[in-house]
Amino acid sequence: MRKHTVYFPVKNIKKARGAEGFNLLELMLTILVLAILVGICVPVFIGRAKSADKTTAIANLRIGENCYDSIWYSRLATQGKDAYRDYDPPEALKNRPEYQANGWVLVDGYYMSLEEPKIGWADLEVSEGSEPVASAEIQGLGIAAAPEGFRIKAIWLAGARIDKGVEDTTNWALLAHKIGVVTDYYWEDGWKPNPDNKYVTLIVLEKSGTAHYVVLNIGRVIARGNFQWENGRGNPGNGTEEGSSPVEEPSQPPEGDNGDDGSEGDNPVITPPLPDNPVDPGNPGTPGEPIPPEEPGEPGEPEQPEQPPAAFTVTIVRVEPETLNLSSQGLFTVYISFPEGRHVSDTDMTSLRCSGAVGIECNVASSMLVVKFYRQDLVDVPTGNNVVITVTGRLNDGTPFVGYDTIRVIRNK
């Protein structure tokens, strides 16, 4: 048998491998380009994440504020009380011990988790401590919660407790973006006792560690701002005010500069002119004739107290979609027109309600008010082809308005 010898081109293989590989310079350039791209992209992503974190926290705080506002005006104020207490709560709340003992339930985080089940609510506590950190000295009493400033009493979602209990009282990771409710004290230039529950303080924590808060007093805002959470040891007094109390002190008149013309400032005092026919005061030494006493007149009508402004009726132009499915999630839109002489731009946007639902977005377009509501927030709305919905609100001067429309409502899963 004849043998055949096979030769392999080793040199060519080595050259081919060398041509396909990277040398050190190319590798360094590749790493440098990747590092530059990472340096550009990572801060952008982090910045967007922080922005989204802040936006979510502020939005949730606004939702909490609107929920409390809705409960106050639609339920609590009608009971003739002046506290965040419900004397006629829903049946699910009447088995609470405080209702059995006092005849009312506190409008706290648990209560609100039943009213707005899509968001987590947390009951927070600010209590006495020997070394208060989230505190202010009030009549010699240091008000704070143990070593951490705040304490989590419970976290709720749709009426169910979602924290694990006592060991999670300072697990602030559980609190991010949830609406914290403080009822035992309220913040107004310091933590102050709230025994009558006329105030409620709402706090929402960003993941980045900034807390946003608002203090409500039976339907009005008395404080708003943000502060650094500092692992629960911060307090609103170390933060930035994001608004002021609606009750403002009267401004002082401006102080003018003394001029050379004898006037003081920009608003000189003007001496009123003498009357055309001055009355002769007569001889001061001669007594005048006595003035006869006036005959007693008929008793007048008692002064009537000032009446609140009367409500006016608005027109609901249309509702979109034309058929509301109560089993679906999402928004529906109501277009509202005002009567002549009224302007939609004068509307208090926080007052808008539609059959129990709170307006979450409001715009003015073509002299119409365009308001969006969550359909799952509608209260006691039946199904049918001609269901009446009611839209209410008020102007900035307090004048209320109301509108009605009939729509088709279904419940298809």
DSSP string, 277-323: SPPP---TTS--PPPPPPPP-PPPPPPPPPPPPPPEE-EEEEEESSE
Per the DSSP assignment, residues forming a β-bridge with 354 are 357, 391
Domain that holds residue 142: 54-241
Residue 5 forms part of a structural domain = no
Q: Which of 33-37, 108-112, 245-249, 349-353 shows the lowest per-residue confidence on average (mean pLDDT)?
A: 245-249
Residue 401 forms part of a structural domain = yes
pLDDT(287) > 60: no
Q: The domain spanning residue 322 has which CATH number?
A: 2.60.40.10
- If one counts the domains in the chain, the total is 2
Calpha distance 151→231 (Å, rounded): 11
Pair 321, 223 in one domain: no
The percentage of residues in the chain with a pLDDT greater than 70, rounded to a whole number, is 70
Q: What is the DSSP string of 217-283?
A: ETTEEEEEEEEE-TTTT--GGGSEESS--SS-PPPPPPPPPBPTTS-BTTSPPPPPPPPSSPPP---
Pair 323, 237 in one domain: no
Per the DSSP assignment, residues forming a β-bridge with 374 are 331
Residue 68 forms part of a structural domain = yes
Calpha distance 89→328 (Å, rounded): 27
pLDDT(254) > 50: no
- In the Cβ-directed half-sphere of 370, how many Cα atoms lie within 13 Å? 7
Q: Specify whether the CB–CB gap between 27 and 324 falls below 8 A.
A: no
Pair 118, 213 in one domain: yes
Q: What pLDDT shows up at residue 363?
A: 85
Q: Which of 220-224, 295-299, 309-313, 318-322 shows the lowest per-residue confidence on average (mean pLDDT)?
A: 295-299
Per DSSP bridges, beta strands 121-125 and 151-157 are antiparallel
Residue 253 forms part of a structural domain = no
Q: Is the pTM of this model over 0.85?
A: no
Pair 230, 356 in one domain: no
